[in-house]
């Protein structure tokens, strides 16, 4: 129960890694605010599971690209949970497009969702913690793609940006007793990494890891919960790879 009494906001919580983080955090003792954009039914089902554990869960519908509305998202989460001291920046998109065909609109959309929203939601969260006088922790999702990936210049740029952003957040927010870390998931068995690949290509990619298999959203969630908890109180400004040894293939 390493998150006992903590209050967490998870973006993109309706599926995949976001849903796994929300559920694992609740198992670890946290109350959870579930941000979603377009699948209320799935999000509500996750909330019901969390309340079944005896934890509080609230739904916070909102588009993370609406930068001006992000302080309201934080305020709704804090009001619904009776406080807020943890943030998981998980919402992201991954539209494949080769660099020779890359459209400005795809670049802008990807950088806005994956990086800009992350920065400004972290800002809104930090301002809330400062006003409330509470310590806090932020975990943001980067990616294995920081090493470079086919048809993914825009995505790689956004996820590489998370690294610099996280390190700077750690430096600037340390006086407020707010830690910031990032996770770089590898090939995780969710819908996002499957886009644009055949099953044969996916098998080859997975075989290229030391683990020789897909990772699970729960494995990413376990690392997230650790980084959010006081167990990781001496871990700050770091990027943790959860990729089954992909860099050693």
User: What is residue 246's predicted lDDT score, i.e. its pLDDT?
Assistant: 87
Cα–Cα dist 164/200, whole Å: 35
pLDDT in tens, 30-66: 999 999 999 999 999 999 999 999 999 999 999 999 9
The dihedral through the CA atoms of 20, 26, 30, 33 has a sign that is positive
Residue 2 lies in a domain: no
Residue 139 lies in a domain: yes
User: What is residue 249's predicted lDDT score, i.e. its pLDDT?
Assistant: 47
Domain count, the chain: 1
For the CA atoms of 137, 187, 163, 25, what is the dihedral angle to 10 degrees? 0
User: What is residue 203's predicted lDDT score, i.e. its pLDDT?
Assistant: 85
Provide the pLDDT confidence category of residue 154 given band limits of 50, 70 and 90: very high
Q: Would the pLDDT of 11 be above 50?
A: yes
User: What is residue 201's predicted lDDT score, i.e. its pLDDT?
Assistant: 82
Residue 158 lies in a domain: yes
Q: Mean pLDDT, to the nearest integer, of 91-101?
A: 96
List the structure tokens of 127. Answer: 């301002």
Helices 217-228 and 16-27 cross at an angle (nearest 10°) of 50
pLDDT in tens, 181-231: 999 999 998 877 666 678 888 888 888 889 999 999 999 999 999 999 999
Q: Which domain range does residue 30 map to? A: 7-190+216-241
Would you name the residues annotated as active-site residues?
143, 155, 159
Residue 209 lies in a domain: no
Residue 15 lies in a domain: yes
Residue 208 lies in a domain: no
CATH of the domain at 30: 3.40.50.720
Residue 141 lies in a domain: yes
Residue 1 lies in a domain: no
């Amino acid at each position: 129960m390493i998150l006992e009494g903590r209050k967490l906001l998870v973006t993109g919580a309706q599926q995949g890694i976001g849903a796994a983080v929300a559920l694992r955090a609740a198992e670890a003792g946290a109350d959870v605010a579930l941000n979603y954009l377009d699948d209320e039914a799935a999000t509500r089902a996750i909330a019901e599971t969390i309340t079944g554990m005896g934890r509080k869960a609230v739904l916070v519908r909102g588009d993370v690209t609406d930068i001006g509305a992000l302080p309201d998202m934080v305020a709704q989460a804090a009001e619904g949970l009776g406080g807020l001291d943890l943030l998981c920046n998980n919402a992201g998109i991954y539209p494949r497009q080769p660099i020779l065909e890359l459209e400005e609109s795809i670049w802008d959309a990807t950088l806005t969702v994956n990086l800009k929203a992350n920065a400004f939601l972290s800002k809104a969260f930090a301002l809330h913690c400062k006003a409330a006088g509470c310590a806090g922790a932020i975990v943001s999702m980067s990616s294995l793609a920081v090493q470079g990936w086919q048809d993914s210049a825009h995505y790689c740029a956004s996820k590489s940006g998370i690294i610099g952003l996280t390190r700077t957040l750690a430096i600037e927010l340390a006086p407020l007793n707010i830690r910031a870390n990032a996770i770089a998931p590898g090939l995780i068995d969710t819908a996002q990494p499957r886009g644009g690949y055949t099953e044969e290509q996916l098998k080859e990619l997975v075989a290229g890891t030391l683990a020789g298999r897909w990772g699970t959203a729960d494995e990413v969630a376990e690392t997230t919960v650790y980084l959010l908890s006081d167990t990781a109180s001496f871990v700050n400004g770091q990027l943790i790879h959860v990729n089954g040894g992909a860099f050693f293939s």
